[in-house]
Structure 1
């Protein structure tokens, strides 16, 4: 009879401890994310981060010429010619999906290329993921 009571108390105690611990995890979450400071959802290291110099639209795809704004170890190329297919993931600074028609010269972008692209200082490749960033 005593072992039965101990088992019941142990089960109730285990339940209460797990309930308290699960509540603590969500209570310690930060109120604001560090992304809000620089308004970019892109990772720090990308193939090209810069401004769109020109865009040419043809048959549902766009070729972008992107030039890096300033020397940075976080950008692989100084300049890149990027083919953007409709299947590429494109998001704005708030994480919302955008279409190819919204890409304009003068916008700041960060791009990851499929297979890392080709070239040394000037990259050529197909966009895997593209982030539109706020102006610096």
Structure 2
């Protein structure tokens, strides 16, 4: 008889825990803000004002699906590095002048670029890192 009461209490405890855990869920799922249109992306399509590297592509080297860019810029308060060696992988987001995504093949020597590096890159005046996002810029 004592064992039957224990089973009943255990079943009641499990039922109570299940009701408490599932009863707190909200029926409304959070969505994006209603001010922004549904087609608008959250990522900016224009270069940020403050980036890790801003300058001209001096050299482009292709090796096994990855591109290494040597970028040289001027001293600016809006860029961390004046010169950088940047690895552009296939997962790097590359944004063209029109704000649309372009392929790695459309980058060539002499173009102006703005680059955000993963983890901010390494180095003092010369940066080394992997590109997270790359924007093409107008010629200055």
From 41, 46, 54, the counterpart of 1:41: 46
Q: CA deviation at 1:71?
A: 2.0
Question: Which residue matches 1:119?
Answer: 123
Question: Which residue matches 2:114?
Answer: 110
Distance 2:132 2:101 in 1: 14
Question: Which residue matches 2:65?
Answer: 60
More helix by share: 1
User: 5+ unaligned residues in a row in structure 2: which ranges?
Assistant: 1-34, 36-44
RMSD: 2.0
Distance 2:90 2:99 in 1: 17
Give me the TM-score of the superposition, normalised by structure 1.
0.69
Question: Which residue matches 2:81?
Answer: 77
Distance 2:60 2:104 in 1: 10
Largest Rg, 1 or 2: 2
SS in 1 for 2:99: coil
Q: CA deviation at 1:99?
A: 0.7
Tell me how many residue pairs correspond in the alignment.
100
Give me the TM-score of the superposition, normalised by structure 2.
0.67
